[in-house]
C-alpha cells in the first residue's frame, strides 16, 4: 500500500480544508437509489433495536442507571483512573498515559520497535481511528491488519469507516465483491455474503496465527479490578489477542466504570442499542496477561479533559459508542458517514468533534434537524440534540459560523424585530413567488429549492386575513 495514497484518501490532515457536511452530503445523495438503500438499511437496524428494547420492561430504568453511573464516574474520574491504574499494575499490566493522539501513536510505535514486531493485527477501536494510528504507522513503515470484517473491507479500499459499529455500511455487496476480487482473488461477480465472509475468514485466520502483536479498543475499564472488557461479534479481538505475544488496549479516559457489577447495566444496554442483539457474541473480560504475554493499556486524553470542563457538553463523555443515534438520525441516514469527515460521525460525533477542533468541525452541529430522536434512543441519556443546538451558539459566538449563514441570520433577526419591515418583506416575498418564480425556483440563488418544491403563495398574509375576518 502506498502511504501517500492512503493518507490522501483516508483523512485530511488536521486543520486542512475538508468538504463541509452539506457539500459532501450533496455528493452522496446524487445516487438516489443508493441513498434510499442506505436510509432504509439503517432504519432497519433502528427497528431491530426497538424490538430488542421492548423485550426488556425495565429498559428505562436501565438507561437511568447507566446515565447515573456515568455521571457519578465523571464526577470522580481522577480517583477512579488512579485506582484503575493501581489495580492494573498489580495485575501485571503496563499502563501508559497519552495527552494527545501524537503521544498515543508514539507509545504504540515504541512498543512495536522495542519488541521488533513485524506482524500486527487490530480489532475495532474508534480511538485509534480518532488518533489516525494506521496512517501514522504506515508512515513509519509498519503495517497493521484490521481484522473486523467491515474494517478490513474499508482498509482494502483506503477509506475510513463510515459508521462506528457498521464500518462498511455505505457499501453494497457488489462493492465488497469487487474489492475482495482485487485483494483476495475471490471470484469476480460472486456477491454472496457467505462466500465473501468465508474468504475473509480464511485470509484473516492466517493473519491471526502469524500475529505478534494485537491492538484492541476497550469498551469498559473497571476501576475496582483493573480489568477491562472488549465486545465483538466476530471474535476477532480474541483471536488476535490470545494468539499474539503482546496485547495493547487503547482507551479514552471516559471508558472507566467504578465496579464490575456496573457492567451488568452497560452490557444489557450496549448490544440492544447497537444492533438489537441481546448481547454481543463475545464480551471478553481481560484482567491479567496470559503466561509469557505482555499486556499494555494506553489511557488517552486527546481533548477529553477539556470537554469535561465544559458544563454544557461534558456529558457527551458518557457515550458508550453504540451508534443508536446514527441509525435513527434522519440526516445521518441520508448523508452517509463520510460526509461528517471525522472518525466518529453521526449526532454524537457532531457534539464531540467541535471540542477537538472548532474551526474544522464548525459545520457538524448544523447537520441536524434537532428532532431529538438521538436523545430518545441514547442508552446513557445524553441530551445530544440540546448540545447540537448549544454548539451552534458557541460556534456562532466564536465566529465559526459560515459567512452566508451569519448574514442571513442577521438579516432575519432585523426583519423579525421590525414589524413594519416584516410586513413589507412578506408582501414582497408573496409577489416574487407569484410574479417572478424563476428567482425562487432556482437552485443556485435559492438553496432551499434543492430537493423541494416552493409553496403556492397565499393571496394575503394571516395578519391581513385576521384584520378582515375578526369581528
Partner 1 sequence: MSSRENILQAITANKPSFIEPPIIEMKRAVLSSTEAVQQFISTLESIGGKAVIVEGVNLIRENLQLSRDTGAYIVNTIPMLGEVNDEITTATDAHSLEPVFKAYIGATIGIAENGAVWIYESEMKNRLVPFICQHLVVCLDVNKIVPTMHEAYSQIDVAKEGYGVFLAGPSKTADIEQSLVIGAHGARSLLVYLIAPVLK
Residue 264, all three cell numbers = 451488568
Please, which of residues 220-259 interact with partner 1 by CB under 8 A?
Answer: 222, 225-227, 233-236, 238-239, 241-243, 253, 258
Smallest CA-to-CA distance from 69 within 254, 340, 227, 242 is with: 254
Given the rule CB under 8 A, which of 14-22, 195-203, 336-344, 364-372 is the region that contacts partner 1?
195-203
Distance in Å, CB of 327 to partner 1, minimum: 11
Please, which of residues 46-65 interact with partner 1 by CB under 8 A?
Answer: 56-58, 61, 64-65
Count residues binding partner 1 (CB under 8 A).
Answer: 96
One-character DSSP codes across 129-164 = HHTTHHHHHHHTT--EEE-SHHHHHHHHTT---SSS
- Kindly tell me which of 281 and 369 has the beta carbon lying closer to partner 1: 281
Q: What are phi and psi of 81, to 5 degrees?
A: -65, -40
Element (H, E) at 285: strand 282-286
Instruction: Choose which of 71, 139, 312, 464 interacts with partner 1 (CB under 8 A).
Output: 71
Contact between 279 and partner 1 per CB under 8 A: yes
Listed in sequence order, the residues at least 6 apart from 343 whose beta carbon sits closer than 8 Å to its beta carbon are 126, 129, 130, 132, 160, 161, 349
- Kindly tell me which of 268 and 338 has the beta carbon lying closer to partner 1: 268
Instruction: Choose which of 1, 9, 14, 44 interacts with partner 1 (CB under 8 A).
Output: 44
- Kindly tell me which of 77 and 394 has the beta carbon lying closer to partner 1: 77
Contact between 414 and partner 1 per CB under 8 A: no
Contact between 43 and partner 1 per CB under 8 A: no
Smallest CA-to-CA distance from 270 within 298, 313, 229 is with: 229
Distance in Å, CB of 263 to partner 1, minimum: 6
Binding characters for partner 1, 126-155, by CB under 8 A (x = yes): ---------------------xxxx--x--
- Kindly tell me which of 151 and 363 has the beta carbon lying closer to partner 1: 151
* DSSP tag of 343: S
Given the rule CB under 8 A, which of 14-22, 161-169, 406-414, 436-444 is the region that contacts partner 1?
161-169
CB atoms inside a 10 Å sphere around CB 97:
15
Stated length of the chain: 471
- Kindly tell me which of 175 and 464 has the beta carbon lying closer to partner 1: 175
Distance in Å, CB of 154 to partner 1, minimum: 10
Contact between 389 and partner 1 per CB under 8 A: no
CB 398 within 8 Å of CB 385 = no
Distances, alpha carbon 364 to alpha carbons 42, 163, 255, in Å: 20, 15, 24
Instruction: Choose which of 35, 287, 294, 461 interacts with partner 1 (CB under 8 A).
Output: 287
Contact between 106 and partner 1 per CB under 8 A: no
Smallest CA-to-CA distance from 379 within 83, 144, 49 is with: 49
* Distance from C-alpha of 15 to C-alpha of 53, rounded to nearest angstrom: 41
Amino acid at each position: 500500500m502506498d502511504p501517500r495514497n492512503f493518507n490522501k484518501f483516508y483523512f485530511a490532515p488536521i486543520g486542512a480544508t475538508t468538504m463541509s457536511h452539506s457539500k459532501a452530503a450533496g455528493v452522496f445523495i446524487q445516487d438516489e437509489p443508493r441513498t434510499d438503500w442506505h436510509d432504509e438499511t439503517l432504519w432497519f437496524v433502528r427497528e431491530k433495536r426497538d424490538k430488542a428494547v421492548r423485550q426488556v420492561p425495565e429498559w428505562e430504568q436501565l438507561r437511568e442507571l447507566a446515565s447515573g453511573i456515568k455521571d457519578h464516574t465523571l464526577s470522580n474520574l481522577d480517583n477512579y483512573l488512579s485506582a484503575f491504574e493501581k489495580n492494573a499494575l498489580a495485575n501485571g499490566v503496563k499502563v501508559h498515559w497519552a495527552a494527545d493522539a501524537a503521544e498515543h501513536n508514539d507509545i504504540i510505535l515504541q512498543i512495536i520497535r522495542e519488541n521488533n514486531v513485524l506482524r500486527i493485527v487490530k480489532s475495532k477501536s474508534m480511538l485509534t481511528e480518532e488518533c489516525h494510528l494506521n496512517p501514522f504507522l504506515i508512515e513509519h513503515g509498519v503495517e497493521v491488519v484490521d481484522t473486523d470484517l467491515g474494517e478490513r473491507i474499508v482498509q482494502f479500499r483506503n477509506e475510513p469507516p463510515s459508521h462506528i459499529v457498521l464500518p462498511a455500511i455505505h457499501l453494497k455487496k457488489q462493492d465488497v465483491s469487487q474489492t475482495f476480487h482485487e485483494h483476495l482473488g475471490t471470484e469476480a461477480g460472486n456477491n454472496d455474503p457467505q462466500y465473501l465472509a468465508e474468504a475473509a475468514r480464511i485470509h484473516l485466520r492466517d493473519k491471526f496465527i502469524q500475529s505478534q502483536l494485537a491492538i484492541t479498543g476497550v469498551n469498559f475499564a473497571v476501576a475496582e479490578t483493573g480489568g477491562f472488557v472488549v465486545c465483538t461479534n466476530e471474535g476477532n479481538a480474541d483471536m488476535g489477542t490470545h494468539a499474539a505475544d503482546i496485547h495493547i488496549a487503547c482507551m479514552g479516559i471516559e471508558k472507566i466504570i467504578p465496579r464490575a457489577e456496573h457492567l451488568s447495566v452497560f452490557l444489557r444496554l450496549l448490544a440492544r442499542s447497537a444492533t438489537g442483539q441481546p448481547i454481543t457474541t463475545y464480551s471478553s473480560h481481560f484482567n491479567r496477561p496470559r503466561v509469557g504475554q505482555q499486556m499494555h493499556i494506553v489511557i488517552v486524553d486527546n481533548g477529553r479533559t477539556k470537554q469535561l470542563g465544559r458544563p454544557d457538553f461534558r456529558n457527551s463523555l458518557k457515550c458508550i459508542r453504540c451508534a443508536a443515534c446514527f441509525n435513527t438520525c434522519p440526516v445521518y441516514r441520508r448523508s452517509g458517514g463520510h460526509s461528517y469527515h471525522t472518525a466518529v460521525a453521526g449526532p454524537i460525533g457532531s457534539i464531540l468533534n467541535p471540542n477537538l477542533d472548532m474551526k474544522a468541525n464548525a459545520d457538524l452541529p448544523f447537520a441536524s434537524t434537532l428532532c431529538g430522536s438521538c436523545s430518545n434512543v441514547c442508552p446513557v441519556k445524553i441530551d445530544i440534540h440540546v448540545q447540537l443546538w448549544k454548539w451552534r451558539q458557541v460556534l456562532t459566538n466564536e465566529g465559526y459560523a459560515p459567512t452566508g449563514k451569519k448574514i442571513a441570520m442577521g438579516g432575519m433577526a432585523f426583519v423579525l424585530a421590525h414589524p413594519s419591515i416584516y410586513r413589507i418583506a412578506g408582501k414582497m416575498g408573496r409577489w416574487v413567488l407569484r410574479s417572478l418564480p424563476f428567482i425562487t425556483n432556482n437552485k443556485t440563488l435559492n438553496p432551499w429549492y434543492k430537493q423541494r418544491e416552493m409553496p403556492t403563495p397565499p393571496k394575503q398574509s394571516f395578519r391581513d386575513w385576521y384584520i378582515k375576518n375578526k369581528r
